[in-house]
Amino acid sequence: MKKLLTILALAFALSWSLPASAQEFSFGADIVSRYVWRGVDFGESASVQPALTFSSGGLEIGTWASYATNPGSAGANEHDLWIGYSAGAFSVGITDYYFPNAEAAHDEHDHDHDEDEEPEIIGFFDFSGDGEGGHWIEPYVSFNGTDSFPVTLYAAYMAHNDVDNSLYLNASVPFAVGGIDMSFGIGASAGESGFYGTEGFGIVDMALGASKSIPITDKFELPVSVSYILNPTDEKSFLVFGISL
């Protein structure tokens, strides 16, 4: 925890030393019919997902959360922090996934757990490891594509609290059909992982997404999206609708 706080403090000091014209805050929220992340449905509930981001040059610091609208799915609530730096088409960073109700993170692939059992509440400053804590810390690196090669490549390593230290790999490509922005991506667990439910290398999500903005008034458009997601490992599929505000 001390290392994470030190990194954040240094990042803020560096960011505020840059010209004010290079600094920007942005915020918003998505409303989704399901929170499906890397092929896993968290909470089986519609969710509200707010975000707040500060950027300065290539540096970005942000916080994002997902809150289930069904009170019975509150165990899947999540609140994350991340810091990243981009240079050209490349980005590196680290994400802290925090599950206040730790049962959601521990038991997502445990089909024998009691859904009626009250989830354990883990405090924000409890950074226990070995699958016992509420914080899952994951460094990542990505290639964000270029005009001549518009393919995004992403790799992330679950370094803390995952006993398997799962490695996730993803490749995606954007395209357009009839004025609709679309994308197709494939994500995989690179080895044995209880987190993703794989015994070795396995594809955990194949996603086809479409998005557009619907004009509401002369000055306001409402961004909407639909994603078809298939998890070949769990043999599950999802169709997720989202609205961005």
150-206 tens-digit pLDDT = 999 999 999 999 999 999 999 999 999 998 999 999 999 999 999 999 999 999 999
CA 149, CA 173: separation in Å to the nearest integer? 9
Which range has the worst mean pLDDT, 82-86, 122-126, 222-226? Answer: 122-126
| pLDDT at residue 88 in the model | 95
Q: Are 92 and 76 in contact (CB under 8 A)?
A: no
Q: Residue 114 corresponds to which tokens in the numbers above?
A: 């009691």
Both tokens assigned to 177: 């059909």
pLDDT value at position 111? 42
Is the pLDDT reported for residue 240 higher than 60?
yes
Whether the model clears a pTM of 0.85, i.e. scores above it, the answer is yes
What pLDDT band is residue 3 in, cutting at 50, 70 and 90?
Answer: low
How confident is the model at residue 109, as a pLDDT?
45
Place of tokens 């990542």: 140
Residue 37: pLDDT band (50, 70, 90) is: very high
Whole-number Å distance between alpha carbons of 1 and 99: 15
Residue 102 clears pLDDT 80, i.e. is over it: no
Q: Is the model's pLDDT at 230 over the cut of 50?
A: yes
Q: Is the pLDDT of residue 245 over 90?
A: yes
Taking alpha carbons only, the member of 113, 114, 119, 110 closest to residue 234 is 110
Residue in 140, 139, 138, 136 with CA at minimum distance from that of residue 161: 136
Residue spans per domain, the chain: 2-244
Average pLDDT, the chain: 89
Does the structure show a pLDDT above 50 at 77? Answer: yes
Supply the pLDDT for residue 112: 47
Between CA 56 and CA 62, with CA 58 as vertex, the angle to 5 degrees is 60
pLDDT in the model for residue 4 = 57
Residues 82/69, Cβ–Cβ less than 8 Å: no
The pLDDT score that the predictor gives to residue 56 is: 92
Q: Between these two residues, 122 and 82, which has the higher pLDDT value?
A: 82
pLDDT of residue 23: 86
Q: pLDDT tens for residues 6-34?
A: 655 555 555 555 565 578 999 999 999 99
| pLDDT, average across residues 31-46 | 96
User: Does 2-244 carry CATH code 1.10.260.30?
Assistant: no
Say which amino acid occupies 135.
Answer: H
